[in-house]
Structure 1
Amino acid sequence: MSIENVKSHFRIYNREQDVQEFTTSSATVEQAAETIGVIPARIAKTLSFRGEGDNAILVVAAGDAKIDNKKFRETFGFKARMLAPDEVLEQTGHEIGGVCPFGLVRELDVFLDVSMKRFDTLFPACGSTNSAIELTCEELAQYSGGKVWVDVCKGWEEITLQMGCEHTA
């Protein structure tokens, strides 16, 4: 079971007990935000893309961010093409709605989008459609093995300005 892989992953860091399991769904950003009681932007969503070669790449971004195709191509050197659900499961070991950068069945490159840096903590999924963990950006980078912070998303800056928040990348 995918959540068990994630719990095993967090056991290494003595954080297994911090994985939260809910009685309601957290499969979408909106559902997760409602279940946890936070704004959707604080949900750290993991997006799976075709990489070069056989392995996918994962981009973890704030819940209100959308991939900017131009920025993605400039950053990675290839077009953003998301994986099909069966490919996501094969590459990550997690089903859609529970995809996260922890407890992966393959060693994949994980990139963290700067859209998350405006929050003290975020809530990524934990391998099931009803789980999450609260992490700082630093913890998210550490536990995911994130390679580097990237700027490949759009849409969130406008929302941040409307909320009166400052962005610091």
Structure 2
Amino acid sequence: MAIEKVKAYFKQYGMENQIIEMDESSATVELAAQALKCEPKRIAKSLSFNAEGTVLLIVAAGDAKIDNRKYKEEFGTKAKMLGASEVETLIGHAVGGVCPFAVNEGVHVYLDESLKRFVTVFPACGSGNSAIELTIPELEEFSKCLKWVDVCKGWNE
């Protein structure tokens, strides 16, 4: 189970006990915000894409949406999200629990600028009822992101 992989991943940092497992679903931004009693925009959602054979994971704020023009400028190709049936195989986590921790080798993780306005955010932890509260520097460290990108819209209007 993916949450076990994420717990093992955080154990090396002594942070496995900070993972929050809820009785209710946190599989969508709205459900996660309700379960965690926070604003939806503080949910760090992980969006998965196929960029001409390279698997990308873009972690963005809950109120952000991919801007196709910005995405193409950054990655040189049209934004093509992975199908639900591909996500678990290619990323290592099922839809609803996708996160940037303990992902499959070869997955390129990026953090979107929409997250930088928060002190802490809540990414999932491999299951549809888990999360962890991390500071932005912690998210940057533990996600092992390649870099920050600006590929979203809707959050700063």
TM-score (norm 2): 0.98
Deviating beyond 6 angstroms after TM superposition, the runs of 4 or more aligned structure 1 residues are: none
Where does residue 100 of structure 1 map in the other structure? 99
Which residue in the other structure is 1:45 paired with?
Answer: 45
Q: Extract unaligned runs of 5+ from structure 2.
A: none
What is the aligned-residue RMSD (CA, Å)?
0.8
Residue number in structure 1 paired with 2:86: 87
The structural deviation recorded for 1:92 is 1.3
Per the alignment, in what secondary structure is the counterpart of residue 157 of structure 1?
Answer: coil
What is the identity, as a one-letter code, of the residue corresponding to 2:146? K
Q: Which residue of 2 aligns with 1:111?
A: 110
> What SS does structure 2 have at the residue aligned with 1:50?
strand
Unaligned runs of 5+ in 1: 159-169
Letter in 2 for 1:25: S
| 1:137 aligned residue | 136
Displacement after TM superposition at 1:44 (Å): 0.0
Q: Tell me the alpha carbon deviations over residues 60-84 of structure 1, each in whole angstroms, 9 at most, x when there is no partner.
A: 0000000000000001111100000
Q: Does 1:31 align with 2:31?
A: yes
Deviation at 1:93, TM superposition (A): 1.4
Question: Where does residue 22 of structure 2 map in the other structure?
Answer: 22
Residue 64 of structure 1 aligns with which residue? 63
Q: Residues 79-101 of structure 1: CA distance to partner in whole angstroms, max 9, x if unpaired?
A: 10000012111111111100001
SS at match of 2:46: strand
Q: Which amino acid counterpart does residue 124 of structure 1 have in structure 2?
A: P
1:51 is displaced (CA, Å) by 2.2
1 CA distance for matches of 2:115 and 2:50?
Answer: 22
Question: Are positions 1:76 and 2:75 aligned together?
Answer: yes
**Percent identity of paired positions between Structure 1 and Structure 2:** 57
Q: Would you say the 8 A contact 2:55–2:106 is kept in 1?
A: no
Greater strand fraction, Structure 1 or Structure 2: 2
- 5 Å-filtered alignment, 1:144-163, equals 144-158=143-157
| Structure-1 separation of matches of 2:149 and 2:103 | 21
Structure 1 residues 21-42: Cα deviation after superposition (integer angstroms, max 9, x where no partner): 0000000000000000000000
